[in-house]
Structure 1
């Protein structure tokens, strides 16, 4: 499937009765496994991609390495791929649009782009530049604008909905399709944000998040996993390696391992 069709397919997945469940991958192997387990689309975790390439999370990842990683993931996938580009790896909106154009060439059907601790007006300009580029290319790129109002406590608790909505209106006018509110778990606030933003609401697995099956009732259209998978695997791997190095423990290395032939066959 070419990017035009995968981008259209990704957009359609956000309009189903139940929210789109997006596990986040970090390399071609994790993307392939997640797709084989039934995911209708794949999203990247910027943290997982950065860590796997030896960089810290936080706009430190070189664009060339990200594009190469996206290409390797797209090569093994038959489902749409959405790429988390953090803040776009530049302050200049034209540079951000150029980066996203490279990622479309590599196989991206959608992006996440965030405001972080920065000014929401800057994200508006970035989204506007990205949308204009995608329109010129004839690609219905799914643009998911992330706001960190909740995760960073950028407004007092009683004012967060209003702050998110103020930002969301700018992001929508700039050309965003979705609104990703990191750390949002209150169902009344979910509904208020979804109803008032005019954007399709994305939440993430987070302490206190209600059961996934209940989220459609609160107008959530997408649920992602973020960096929880690589974080969990990091700790598990540390336990295995520490046991081997410190105690010579070997059984734990094999007890729950997938058979070599099974893993290798997945890449045939």
Structure 2
């Protein structure tokens, strides 16, 4: 499936819902459930492969996992590519396309420093990816300001960064962990008509409310992986105590 198909699914007020997968089997389940896109979760992929999140997984293993996912589904695949793994834009694009992906997230956290990358540097990275990819990738620029501060204090910088990233060629911006309805509404208004991606959180707005707030894309991130792992942990604890797990 093409990047154009994925791009067309980003409609403010009618959000694309992404229940993120982490291997070929879960990707197949996502497609069988009727979702039009398979997205990956970096934490879920990393932990499944035996590495920590935050670019702890060798690049070759990341893209091998993506290739297995793309091989078994017929819908577009978009990849949580963290901060780009230190690859030059052309190489990152080449690896994404070779793996079968037609979209990616790129976050503005510098994992080596454990802090946000300077906004201009991040914009240059995104511009390089766009130049190398042309229209072949849907570029979702993750904005990590709400990871580092209160929503009120982080808002202005999140909007400023989002605008710079859109100007650099991003198709969508992702202010991760923005969860107050008034904050999300202010984001979509400030960035209109651009596509805004929001994380679905149990204590945040529901899916219908997010649509009403003008969101174009909703990600579960590592949510399903965390829920499944918690379920399995409880079953194993029961079994180790002699109680049938099901």
TM (normalized to structure 1)? 0.84
Residues 1:27 and 2:23 are matched in the alignment: yes
Tell me the equivalent position of 2:157.
Answer: 163
Tell me the equivalent position of 1:7.
Answer: 3
- Asked if structure 1 preserves the Cα contact closer than 8 Å seen for 2:78 and 2:103, the reply is yes
Secondary structure, in 3 states, of the residue corresponding to 2:31? helix
Query: Which sections of structure 1, spanning at least 5 residues, go unmatched?
Result: 256-268
Tell me the equivalent position of 1:65.
Answer: 61
Residues 77-102 of structure 1 show CA distances to partners (whole Å, capped at 9, x for unaligned) of 11111100111111x6xx24312321
List aligned pairs for 1:115-154, cutoff 5 A. Answer: 115-116=108-109, 117-118=115-116, 119-135=118-134, 139-153=135-149
Secondary structure, in 3 states, of the residue corresponding to 2:145? coil
Pick the structure with greater CA Rg. 1
Higher relative contact order (CA 8 A, sep 6+): 2
Shift of 1:204: 0.5
Shift of 1:211: 1.5
TM (normalized to structure 2)? 0.91
Residues 179-206 of structure 1 show CA distances to partners (whole Å, capped at 9, x for unaligned) of 1111112223222222322531000122
Q: CA RMSD in A?
A: 1.7
Tell me the equivalent position of 2:186.
Answer: 192
Distance in 2, Cα, partners of 1:132 & 1:33: 34
Distance in 1, Cα, partners of 2:214 & 2:13: 10
Query: Which sections of structure 2, spanning at least 5 residues, go unmatched?
Result: 110-114
Q: Of 93, 100, 118, which aligns to 1:100?
A: 93
Distance in 1, Cα, partners of 2:165 & 2:12: 23
Tell me the equivalent position of 1:225.
Answer: 220
Secondary structure, in 3 states, of the residue corresponding to 1:61? coil
After the TM superposition, which segments of 4 or more aligned residues of structure 1 sit over 4 Å from their partners?
Answer: none
Mean CA deviation greater in 75-84 or 192-201: 192-201
Give the count of matched residue pairs.
239
Tell me the equivalent position of 2:174.
Answer: 180
